[in-house]
Homo-oligomer: A and B are copies of this chain.
Amino acid sequence: MGRNRTIELLRDVDDLPADDRQFVAALERGLRVLRMFSSAHETLSNGELSRGTALSKATISRLTYTLSRLGYLTHDPASGRYRLGPGALALGYASLSKFDVRQVARPLMQNLADYAGASVALCARDGLNMIYLEFRRSPNALGLGLDIGDRIPLATTSVGRAYLAAMSDEERKPLLDEIRRNDPSAWPKVRRGIEQAIRDVAERGYCTSLGDWVPEIHSLGVPLDVNSPYGILSFNIGGLASTLPPRLIETDLAPRLIGLTRRVAEMLGASAAAERLPVKPVKSGR
């Protein structure tokens, strides 16, 4: 039966088509737990995990036990709290390190961040979020305490909207559906923001979010449509509203961020080169 035609978009957690004989739920649950750890929650207790993941206490207990045995979490016996262990590190870093857009973009991002007295980020999509791949900020910039690996919403941030604006209509459609389903009550407003962004990107090359996500934060985003394994990427400049007034964005920062994006895109002509090492069988010990 050749019915597996659907494009593999990364459907986010939460909506499991339930009756999927292929889906390994226990794995998903375990990853839900790991996912809770971010720069905002360096350490978490079983209780917090249970609340944050909507999994039963017993289940969490088993999962944290398993993850600890495997080195993905470490347990602080004194506080009874967990934090990411050395094992977790290997996962993420491997993908980051060889990802050359970052190397190329980093110095330019730092310059612009310093110039604007704000922060500049490079993001990819992860479900209904945008995830920080690279992040530079001006030393004296105030802002949210974000860092590489953190996630921010897709629908209400400028990076997210820039991302959406760069997609083809067919790709965007299902994603918008999901956003709507995810929070129907917010949808009318969210939708307007996105449509505006699509127009803005088409006409001026950038879009904004002036307090649409966090009231006191302004930001602008520009998509980078380059052939990366993570698909479309996008840049933003973000900071306090007072630092980034609309006029400044429009006349000065937007052209600069667009320029940055253009230069990065140019520098990425020669990439690729996939090496494929053979993988030896592992003795099935156990």
Chain A residues with CB under 8 Å of chain B are: 6, 8, 10-16, 18, 22-24, 26-31, 34-44, 48-49, 51-54, 61-63, 65-72, 74-77, 79, 81, 83-98, 124-127, 131, 133, 147-151, 229-231, 274-286
Contacts and interface: CB of A to CB of B under 8 A. Distances in A.
A126 to B, nearest CB: 4
**Total copies of this chain within the assembly:** 2
Residue from A6, A28, A61, A90 whose CB has the most chain B CB atoms within 10 Å:
A90
29 contacts: A10-B68, A10-B70, A10-B74, A10-B282, A14-B285, A16-B69, A24-B63, A26-B26, A27-B27, A30-B30, A31-B72, A31-B87, A39-B98, A44-B279, A51-B280, A54-B286, A70-B127, A71-B127, A83-B229, A85-B126, A86-B124, A86-B230, A89-B133, A89-B148, A90-B92, A90-B150, A91-B91, A92-B96, A94-B147
Residue from A27, A41, A42 whose CB has the most chain B CB atoms within 10 Å:
A27
Nearest to A71: B10
Nearest to A68: B8
A131 B30 contact: no
